[in-house]
Amino acid sequence: MKRLFLGLTMVGIVLLSACGTGASRQEAKETPLNALTEQEKAEGWILLFDGETFDGWRGYGREDVPSAWIIEDDAIKIQGSGAGEAGHEDGGDIIFDQQFQNFELTFEWKVSRGGNSGVFYLAQEIEDLPIWRSAPEYQILDNVNHLDARLGVDGNRKSASLYDLIPAKPQNSKPYGEWNTGSVIIYRGTVVHFQNGENVVEYHLWTPAWEEMVENSKFAGWGEFINAGGENRMGYIGLQDHGDDVWFRNLKLKILD
């Protein structure tokens, strides 16, 4: 009798394990990469990348997508030139060709060893000026192997930081080659950065504190940067070509107006 009971117990455990695995697989099936769930659709989320095409994207200051950018393994990839920022013969930053004001942006990213990139927001497209002259940047970085992590002040060049201004704390990025989740929320001037589920940066645009911080940084005197978003306080979302292999996927946005 004891053996029979043990046998039935083991069968139950196996069945429960099988059911759990099946449920997990089913759940994974229902939330594929680069797609909106039914709940996200109901909440008004917009898909910025379908996993197969560059629909909606173009180069900053141009109508096409630079050839340095490709789609690989369901992700947007910038192919590193190894020659620093925009060093590829046909490289440069790319933007999603629609301007946004109050929104929540979510995405996943990973870098190669020593990789560096960024996500720009509220960017203006100004002739003869690079995107970073007008746009705050959510830093993308391999904190262990890229020199930038040791530069700046108090870690304000590490991943998810407001680049060179506010350090991301806690610093919870994953090693190069692993996927991280990122998010930027902008609502009436309040900006929040998230990394791997944690709030790591918070600040307020267009305030005396913002202006003072910028004027005490390397961005001092950059009127386009201080007035991020321009007169309408809205702008483009951009992905940076910094000369390294970096991947982005699951880019989604919800307008908060």
**CB burial of residue 28 (10 Å; 0-12, 13-18, 19+):** exposed
Please state, in angstroms and as integers, the Cα–Cα distance from residue 197 to each residue in 70, 201, 253, following that order: 28, 12, 16
Cα distance between residue 24 and residue 210, in whole Å: 45
Residue 122: its pLDDT value, please?
Answer: 98
Residues 14 and 78 in one domain: no
Verify that 22 and 89 share a domain, yes or no.
no
Burial class (CB in 10 A: 0-12, 13-18, 19+), 14: exposed
In a shared domain, residues 6 and 60: no
> What pLDDT sits at residue 11?
37
111 plus 71 within the same structural domain: yes
**Contact between residue 243 and residue 84 where contact means Cβ atoms under 8 Å apart:** yes
My answer on whether 41 and 20 are in the same domain is no
| CATH number of residue 95's parent domain | 2.60.120.560
CB 213 within 8 A of CB 205: no
Nearest residue to 118 via CA among 126, 129, 128, 107:
107
Same domain, 225 and 249: yes
Q: How far is Cα 139 from Cα 80, in angstroms, rounded to an integer?
A: 17
Specify the pLDDT at position 12. 43
Are 91 and 54 found together in one domain?
Answer: yes
> What are the angstrom distances between the C-alpha of 243 and each of 69, 89, 92, 159?
11, 11, 9, 16
CB of 20 closer than 8 Å to CB of 9: no
* Residue 81: per-residue pLDDT: 83
Amino acid symbol at 257: D
What pLDDT is recorded for position 8? 37
My answer on whether 63 and 26 are in the same domain is no
The reply to whether 20 and 103 lie within a common domain is no
Q: Are residues 67 and 11 in the same domain?
A: no
Question: pLDDT tens, position by position, for the chain (257 residues)?
Answer: 434 333 434 334 333 344 444 443 344 456 789 999 999 999 999 999 999 999 999 999 999 999 999 999 999 999 988 776 666 789 999 999 999 999 999 999 999 999 999 999 999 999 999 999 999 999 999 999 999 999 999 999 999 999 999 999 999 999 999 999 999 999 999 999 999 999 999 999 999 999 999 999 999 999 999 999 999 999 999 999 999 999 999 999 999 98
Task: Check whether residue 64 and residue 13 sit in a common domain.
Answer: no
**Domain encompassing residue 148:** 35-255
The answer to whether residues 247 and 77 touch, using CB atoms and an 8 Å cutoff, is: yes
Structural domain tally of the chain? Answer: 2
pTM score:
0.87
**Shared-domain flag, residues 40 and 61:** yes
